[in-house]
A and B are shown apart, each in its own frame.
Chain A
């Protein structure tokens, strides 16, 4: 199935003529040890259909029982998003057919979500380079279960087209999900793509801070659906929306919003109309393609799930959970900026690079804040750009960075060698110590060898040596360079300098 190339309108042109409205739906897979309605384990990557029971297989007669941990996580997420927590709510059956959904209905929440009416203050970069807050209103956060997963076998692409049979893995069926739904985000204008990204990113930070999910976008434990519509400038009525499903990286969220704005703009300007449909995001090509058309046939025939008793969290419990909430990430940022002594720009760059949490953890591992920032925003950011992966998923942990910095401070290595250590670690050569050992990267601190190298440099550069003897200490740099060259960069530059001055004074 190849889609005809879609004409896009330039982003600037879209903004001249239209106002975007955006709605984000984020699915968070909870890191609960058991499924939402049974006691099956939820381990990622297990052999297919090894984590199933009559309940999550939807066998005749089996009945669900609510996982209290799932309810607790939902409440904590709701509270962190400044939501009201329902005093009484129910699960509903969302009846529809889906090949990998064993009951042919999904147990979800419909008109009675556990959490509703909240907001999140999203921090973005303002026009003047100063941080600016954009408030995203939260419609609801509700509990539901995940579906199974189809595997199409026999085709070249792994898609259903061309496959000769399909297999279904129900390990994921019944894993607890929280769906967070925003109210329509309007008035964002050109900032819409950026706000979408910042919202999802900040939500992910929050989820991590709450400890309720692994929050791995690449493993699908956070997935975002992007609803987008355009209205002619000045018009208050929302336009027809498209729903781009399962966008699975922050960068893609931003790109998908931008792409859909440009696609809608082109269609509307050409006098066409937008189909209310679901669309698929293609990470590789950066485009969306049409999925299923939404129509009146999408009738989920919701009704309250009769097999589950209503969920009625006591106010005491809610308050207990509120008391366990981690510090609000925004408040925490302000606090840490002061503690770390970062300038506004340093702080903004850190957040912008997605390295805030990493710096925080690195500092917690005993590293000086500025050093932590330097590593994450310098060498590691460069590597993540080159490799096209999120900085958090490079494979280097905050503990690794703290270790590297401590080795620099102990003068075991210098900055240049540290970069080689990182290179070795990325190549899978092991811990910093192991890379140093394997590559022989340690700084030479053997006084005899250093002294000999300094003598050699002085001898080779008599002119420079004379200048230093005349008191022009700044000229030492040239000799240090020569020594470092001689020693393959593995010398302690400070000690070399001391030796030069000792010998020439």
Chain B
């Protein structure tokens, strides 16, 4: 294994600055790793749907020229990155892991993509995901599932399984994901990586193919808390093309992470959410969670128990609001202007073409959500479903507000269990939805959350995740507390958690 690929983004940035390595070498090392382990739908990790070797090498070359001229575009100039396939990339296929968008090449870049390009990060490829970001296991990708590098018979989490695996398996040091109900944090938890869902609006959504606009959030995926902070600072901030994006300056995250890494949390009040532990939580996950609390306490934090009684309704509210927005967002996929078109035999009408294309182009989970959303918004049901769900959303926001009166940050396990087996919950959507129990409230309330690896469950030796949530606009607090816990954990382990992961067998697609 080329030792460059196991380095963090921060280490790579330093090496590039010191002239120890070139961006072209870094990109090539990662392309080699992808070629060796990523495989395809049948074998290997299958974290990538599309690898843009040519584009990434060209960007790397340009980056090296900037370095040589002494004019790097940013601290991370030259560090490769992978991008979830739900973000529009000009000239590079963007499919949302759906047959519906097979072959679609956007004529424009998502704002985050434009920002990482401007900052000089070569985009190595587009990562696998659940179709249109709907799912918690990346098994709903129309192009085949992504596999968990810790155990390839298991799911990598979803919907951003591809981004999490790319980072966890050393195929890319950084990735961009999107989190609507936990799609960054939950895969991070089950793959031993770090994932951040910023405050709603903290990063532009322009160019993110919407699943549920009021919940969607772009965020970083990395192997360390500091790396996420570096990426967050780079892509955050207001975007005139997204009027819901915040005007907050994306600063102070890196500083907070560096400060936190010193391991001192004196005076910090940590709230443990009563409702996000106990029933349904795997014992090994709870054991690691309890140990992490002890570490925080040892670092000077005060632990308090806080109750968020309405969190028990969060899942139900989420599974109404999200499909309502889905049903509207996906109506544009009518086979008329881009993507798939299936023309039935005979003399089909436009409606026949649409019907056939949608039948062939959308997977079961997508169809399920479109139908639920269409029903819930229809006249006569709107108040009973969408209206009620919005009320619950308000109550959850109130729960957060009350909890943040008592604590600076709120913590819980990120996901109730470690990674389950591929196929295990495919026929039981509700069981699958339960995986996002702990992550969904943050999306409903718009508050930020981070997941970082906090050990391996005793039962199965698989990673578990620790979630930290902060009030809206207080993302820096996540980086401080996260980096502190990370430093304390790694002191115990003697190395990053990922170094305990099994060697990945080479498949070469």
The chain A residues found within 8 Å of chain B, CB to CB, are 54, 57-66, 93, 95, 97, 99, 102-105, 296, 299, 301-303, 306-309
Contacts and interface: CB of A to CB of B under 8 A. Distances in A.
B378 A60 contact: no
Interface stretch (B103-111, B123-131, B220-228): B103-111
A299 B379 contact: yes
Majority-rule SS of B interface residues: loop
A306 B217 CA distance: 13
B334 interface: yes
Contact of A63 (B241, B331, B336): B241
B266 interface: no
B491 interface: no
Contacts of A308: 243-244
- Of residues A54, A63, A64, A307, which shows the largest number of chain B Cβ atoms within 10 Å of its Cβ? A63
A465 B239 CA distance: 91
Given A54-B107, A307-B244, A61 B208 contact: yes
B332 A103 contact: yes
B328 A105 contact: yes
A99 B353 CA distance: 13
Contacts of A64: 243
B350 interface: yes
Contact of B350 (A62, A99, A103): A99
A304 B334 CA distance: 23
6 contacts: A57-B337, A59-B88, A60-B338, A95-B377, A104-B331, A309-B243
Nearest to A53: B108
A60 B328 contact: no
B328 A61 contact: no
Contact of A301 (B110, B240, B332, B378): B378
A402 B110 CA distance: 56
B106 A60 contact: yes
Contacts of B343: none
Interface in B105-139: 106-108, 110
B386 A60 contact: no
Contacts of B379: 296, 299, 301
Interface string B204-237: 0111111011100000000000000000000000
Given A65-B241, A307-B243, 8 more contacts: A60-B101, A63-B241, A97-B334, A296-B379, A301-B374, A303-B377, A308-B243, A309-B244
Nearest to B330: A104
Given A95-B331, A103-B331, A61 B324 contact: no
A258 B374 CA distance: 40
Contacts of A97: 331, 334
Nearest to A305: B213
Interface of B: 87-88, 94, 96, 101, 104, 106-108, 110, 205-210, 212-214, 240-244, 324-325, 327-328, 331-332, 334, 336-338, 350, 374, 377-379, 382, 386
A61 B107 contact: no
A95 B328 contact: yes
A95 B334 CA distance: 14
Nearest to B96: A60
Contacts of A102: 332, 337
Contacts of A99: 336, 350
Contact of B334 (A54, A60, A61, A104): A104
Nearest to B354: A97
A104 B386 CA distance: 20
A58 B337 CA distance: 10
A397 to B, nearest CB: 40
B331 A60 contact: no
B237 to A, nearest CB: 16
B266 to A, nearest CB: 39
B212 to A, nearest CB: 8
A301 B209 CA distance: 21
Contacts of B324: 303
Question: Which of A59, A104, A303, A308 counts the most chain B CB atoms within 10 A?
Answer: A303
Nearest to A104: B331
B378 A299 contact: yes
A296 B331 CA distance: 20
A60 B213 contact: no
A177 B96 CA distance: 33
A296 B62 CA distance: 59
B209 A60 contact: yes
A60 B88 contact: yes
Contact of A303 (B88, B107, B386): B386
B488 to A, nearest CB: 39
Contact of A61 (B110, B350, B374): B110
Given A63-B206, A102-B337, A307 B94 contact: no
A35 B475 CA distance: 35
A104 B378 CA distance: 16
A61 B331 contact: no
Contacts of A104: 331-332, 334
B243 A61 contact: no
A268 B108 CA distance: 57
Given A59-B108, A61-B207, A309-B244, A303 B328 contact: yes
A60 B107 contact: no
**Which of A61, A65, A302, A303 has the most chain B CB within a 10 Å cutoff?**
A61
A301 B371 CA distance: 13
Contact of B331 (A57, A62, A105, A307): A105
Nearest to A95: B328
Nearest to A66: B243
A65 B243 contact: yes
Given A303-B386, A308-B243, A309-B243, A59 B327 contact: no
A61 to B, nearest CB: 4
A80 to B, nearest CB: 27
B361 to A, nearest CB: 13
Nearest to A300: B379
Contacts of A59: 88, 106-108, 338
Contacts of A103: 331-332
Contacts of B110: 61
Contacts of A60: 88, 94, 96, 101, 104, 106, 209, 332, 338
A495 B327 CA distance: 82
Contacts of A301: 327-328, 374, 377-379, 382
Nearest to B374: A301
A95, A104, A105, A301, most chain B CB atoms within 10 A: A301
A303 B337 CA distance: 25
Nearest to B207: A61
A382 B379 CA distance: 54
A1 to B, nearest CB: 16
Contacts of B378: 299, 301
Contacts of A299: 378-379
Contacts of B88: 59-61
A62 B104 CA distance: 14
A60 B85 CA distance: 12
Contacts of B104: 60
Contacts of B331: 95, 97, 103-105
Nearest to B375: A301
A62 B207 contact: yes
A411 B108 CA distance: 65
Contacts of B338: 59-60
A7 B336 CA distance: 42
Most buried by B among A59, A97, A302: A59
B324 to A, nearest CB: 6
A102 B331 CA distance: 10
Pick the most buried of B104, B206, B332, B374: most chain A CB atoms within 10 A of its CB: B332
B348 to A, nearest CB: 14
Given A60-B106, A62-B206, A63-B241, A307 B213 contact: yes
A54 B111 CA distance: 13
Contacts of B328: 93, 95, 105, 301, 303
Nearest to A105: B328
A303 B212 CA distance: 13
Contacts of B107: 54, 59
A467 B332 CA distance: 90
